[in-house]
Amino acid sequence: MSMNRDFDYSLLAKLTQAFGPSGNEQQVAEIITDNVKDYVESIVTDTMGNLIVRKKGNEQKIMIVCHMDEVGIIVTHINKNGFLYYATVGGLKNTDMISKRVIFSNGTVGIIHKEKDETIDKKPEKLYIDIGAANEQEAKELVRVGDMAVISGDFLENDSVIISKALDDRIGCFIALEVIRTVTSPYDLYFVFSAQEEVGARGAKTAAYAIEADLAIIIDTTFSYDTPKVQNNRVSLNNGVAIKVMDKSIVVSPAIKNWMAKIAAASDIPHQWEIITAGGTDSGPIHLTKGGIPTGGLAIPVRYLHSGNEIVGKKDITAGIDLLTALITTHLYFES
């Protein structure tokens, strides 16, 4: 049984605290670039904002995908009194937004709230953001229409878990970074740090088209529903890395998921099955690219996804790093 090892979690802190709503992933990409440039052959960006890092090998092309973006909001109007109105970017429920603290790329902080007597339905127009500006002009010095903000949430850790905003999917980026810096693989590795996953896996679509890999492996997060009264939940925290069986965007080929489980078992890496019926991932558009790209996925269980207070287990991170390393250093599923 692999235990949780010590990693440089200050890098994860940096990654999670970076500003990166869909379409504005530059800060995250810069941190990743700084941390991989001594280990890889090339680093490029495309028009969607994907960061594509290649670690060259002579064997088949494997595309390893984790997304850089996080959910957030976009400012649609600034009113005369200096309050902001917004629309959501990615899966955020209105009812969960009241009293949330949001932060813009320039550090401006705002509080989301509602009018005293307003009832909240699905329309975010009924909520506003208070940035403490006295009037329209003062607000416009800090924020422009079209600017995005993210839900803030500090990075905290204890011996077994990490709490932060944006662990979805900076935890995937962190795992990929660890693997890039340590792995020696015969395969031609393309690490895709994808953009705009939260709005419908858009960046992954163009990256998959450009790379045309022989195999794609997604590293994302999955719901951990091990709340106090839930029994028989499929996935729980610190119970191992999850191997994707299906989500709303893909049904993984049995050959791929069984290969992943076999490799995990052979190396004593704790693992569980990810079966979700809501929510898609980058694996959706990737496996349907061109003539079809064999695609599987690893997922790190997270409690309270998209909340600003996401929780992951350190054992699961260890298992994720170990399993990804094992997968890309042994025979691929179609060779074994």
Q: How far is the CB of 196 from other proteins (least distance, A)?
A: 6
The yes or no reply on residue 29 touching other proteins (CB under 8 A) is yes
Look up residue 177 and give its amino acid.
L
Of 150 and 298, CB closest to other proteins:
150
User: Judged by CB, which is closer to other proteins: 2, or 33?
Assistant: 33
Name every residue whose Cβ is closer than 8 Å to that of residue 252 and which is 6 or more positions away in sequence: 244, 245, 246, 283, 295, 296, 297
Single out the catalytic residue among 25, 178, 197, 198: 197
In the complex, least distance from residue 173 CB atom to other proteins, rounded to whole angstroms: 17
Contacts of 52 (CB under 8 A, 6+ apart): 43, 44, 45, 46, 190, 191, 192, 193, 207, 210, 211
- 12, 17, 18, 23: residue in contact with other proteins (rule CB under 8 A): 23
CB of 329 to other proteins, least distance (A): 23
Q: Strand 215-223 vs strand 61-67: parallel, antiparallel, or unpaired?
A: parallel
Give the residue with the Cβ less far from other proteins, 42 or 336: 42
99 binds other proteins (CB under 8 A): no
We find the least distance from the C-beta atom of residue 79 to other proteins, in angstroms, to be 6
* Residue 208: partners with Cβ closer than 8 Å, 6 or more residues away: 63, 216, 285, 286, 289, 290, 293
Q: Which stretch binds other proteins (CB under 8 A): 47-55, 237-245, 265-273, 299-307?
A: 47-55
Q: Which of 30, 141, 154, 268 binds other proteins (CB under 8 A)?
A: 30
Q: Work out which of 196, 238, 295, 307 binds other proteins, going by CB under 8 A.
A: 196
Binders in 234-273 for other proteins, by CB under 8 A: none
Alpha-carbon distance of 125 to 114, in angstroms, equals 10
Alpha carbons 328 and 64: distance in angstroms, whole number: 10
Q: Which is nearer to other proteins, 44 or 156 (CB)?
A: 44
Residue 74 sits in the site that holds other proteins (CB under 8 A): yes
Closest CB to other proteins among residues 63, 162: 63
DSSP characters over 15-79: HHHS--BTT--HHHHHHHHHHHTTT-SEEEE-TT--EEEEE--SS-EEEEEEE--B-EEEEEEE-
CB of 206 closer than 8 Å to CB of 50: yes
48 forms part of the interface with other proteins (CB under 8 A): yes
DSSP 117-138: TPPP-S-GGGEEEE---SSHHH
**Catalytic residue status for 118:** no
Nearer to other proteins, 206 or 318 (CB): 206
The residues binding other proteins (CB under 8 A) are: 22-24, 26, 29-30, 33, 37, 40-49, 74, 76-77, 79-80, 85, 87, 89, 125, 145-146, 196, 199-200, 202, 205-207, 209-210
The catalytic residue positions are 197
